[in-house]
Structure 1
Amino acid sequence: MTRLSGKTAVVTGGTRGIGWRLARRFLEEGADVVVASRDRGNWRPEPVAGGARVTFHPVDVRDPASAQDLMSAAADRFGTVDIVVANAGVSRPGAVEKLAPAHWAEVIDTNVTGVFNCAQAAIPHLRLSTEGRLITVSSVLGSRFAPGAAAYGASKAAVEAFTKVLAVEVAADGITANCLSPGFIDEGMGVQLRQNEAVWEKFRTKLASGRMGRGDEVASAAVFLAGDDSSYVNGHVLEVNGGLFW
């Protein structure tokens, strides 16, 4: 399992949930990984077989200078930036009528502007890579709608549109831009959803597979988008949802 050997990956929102699952899989696949987040939280480096290396770097994706510093630090540490996963995101549920403007702004600033900042900071570095990969992260709620998800759903729909435009712009530089769209996953926000019995009961019956997805299943899809096998996949939204019907 060394499909990413010799490559450097940057994963924002990488200290917990799906982000950490992706970072760990990239390490297992031989990549050197920069795990980035606003705070270190409970994250601690773990021994990794195969010689891959991992480091933590703080970032606030809402701040363009912070995103630029992250990419420069990754290049300085490992010599190159080949894969960037713009995964950092927040959710602030609430009906439109009652949603606090500050919560709306927080979601848009993090989930949309944060992706823009990371992509803009990453492109000059990815252009120097032989096979640059930029992966954004959406959600099932980017293309399907649920009450109370106005801010989060709008932000993820924007990420999908942004990624498709980005793919057209960077293709000539040998960079691909694709979007990973998890369904209901038993990690991070998915755990909170499953613990809310009233809400979970509404969504549980919509899963053709009869279960939530696992973080490692999303990570496998991310490895595909990050590796050589996806060289002719560009501007694509890859749903990992077990056959969700809605």
Structure 2
Amino acid sequence: MNKLFDLTGRRALITGSSQGIGLALAAGLQQAGAEVVLNGRSVEKLESAARSLGAGARMLAFDVTDHAAVKEAVNRFEGEIGPIDILINNAGMQHRAPLEDFPAEAFERLMAANVSSVFNVGQAVARHMIGRGRGKIINIASVQTALARPTIAPYTATKGAVGNLTKGMATDWARHGLQCNAIAPGYFETPLNAALVADPEFTAWLSKRTPAGRWGKVEELVGASIFLASDASSFVNGHILYVDGGITASL
């Protein structure tokens, strides 16, 4: 049974993995046997993250919003180092403002960071996976793929797009042997949510709204990522797996 979840001999690229959810997922996949490749724009932050994982962690710095740079970096890595067997599209950002006052430039930044990045890296990596007839792509969606809250309407739009892009990836690429799925985290203690975590009023609301009664811990996303990255999910495609303490199941 353990062989179903064994990632030994496989290589995983995780975007936006110098901190937070991305780094936690990288550590989890590494513990399951995968060789991990960390991605971000800051080499300094990547070096620090790589040191925290110990020997064997690789780095691949590029801007996920730059289509040409992504293609060049992925092609170079595949040619010089070897295949990327698993891709986790985790890079993203948040911006909060009332919708009627939301800056247009912030909306465009959100679309680029949260949606274009998934297309850019997904396409670049999938082209190599298709040639090999196998591959795992995991996109990080959100509880906001299904729900909305005040002041984050554009973010909600981006994560809805990630959910449907995941389905589109599965529809196009399943016949080539790829499994393309998404993990939709609920509210987790991450740098992205630091302001909310520090807000007692919001934390009290969240504890009442979430059946589990608390914030999630990033390590609680690891099991879902290993499942979707492993042979255990060989016939799972186009699925959005909510890891949210039950918030999407309860009014």
TM over 0.5: yes
2:99 counterpart SS class: coil
2:39 counterpart SS class: strand
Deviation at 1:83, TM superposition (A): 0.5
For 1:68 and 1:199, the matched residues in 2 are separated by 40
Deviation at 1:220, TM superposition (A): 1.4
Closer, same or farther: CA 58–99 of 1 in aligned 2, 3 Å: same
| 1:202-241 → structure 2 map (5 Å cutoff) | 202-241=205-244
Closer, same or farther: CA 187–41 of 1 in aligned 2, 3 Å: farther
Hey, which of these two has a bigger chunk of helix by percent? Answer: 2
Q: For the Cα contact (< 8 Å) 2:206–2:214, is it kept in 1?
A: no
Q: For the Cα contact (< 8 Å) 1:10–1:74, is it kept in 2?
A: no
Q: For the Cα contact (< 8 Å) 2:12–2:37, is it kept in 1?
A: yes
Q: Structure 1: any 5+ residue segments left out of the alignment?
A: none
1:97 counterpart SS class: helix
| 1:133-144 → structure 2 map (5 Å cutoff) | 133-144=136-147
Q: For the Cα contact (< 8 Å) 2:185–2:243, is it kept in 1?
A: yes
| 1:117-128 → structure 2 map (5 Å cutoff) | 117-128=120-131
- Match of 2:60? 57
- Match of 1:82? 85
Deviation at 1:76, TM superposition (A): 3.4
Deviation at 1:47, TM superposition (A): 7.0
Letter in 1 for 2:212: S
Q: For the Cα contact (< 8 Å) 2:206–2:213, is it kept in 1?
A: no
Letter in 2 for 1:110: A
- Match of 1:33? 36
Identify the match of residue 154 of structure 2 among 146, 151, 154: 151
Q: Structure 2: any 5+ residue segments left out of the alignment?
A: none
For 1:47 and 1:146, the matched residues in 2 are separated by 35
CA deviations on 1:188-220 (whole Å, 9 max, x unpaired) are 323432112233333221111112111111011
* Over 4 Å off, 4+ runs: none
Identify the match of residue 101 of structure 1 among 104, 114, 118: 104
For 2:30 and 2:217, the matched residues in 1 are separated by 18
- Match of 2:14? 11
User: Does 191-200 or 95-104 show the bigger shift?
Assistant: 191-200
In the comparison of the two structures, how many residue pairs are matched?
244
Identify the match of residue 68 of structure 1 among 66, 71, 74: 71
Q: For the Cα contact (< 8 Å) 1:133–1:177, is it kept in 2?
A: yes
Letter in 1 for 2:196: L
Identify the match of residue 201 of structure 1 among 192, 199, 204: 204
RMSD of aligned Cα (Å) = 1.9
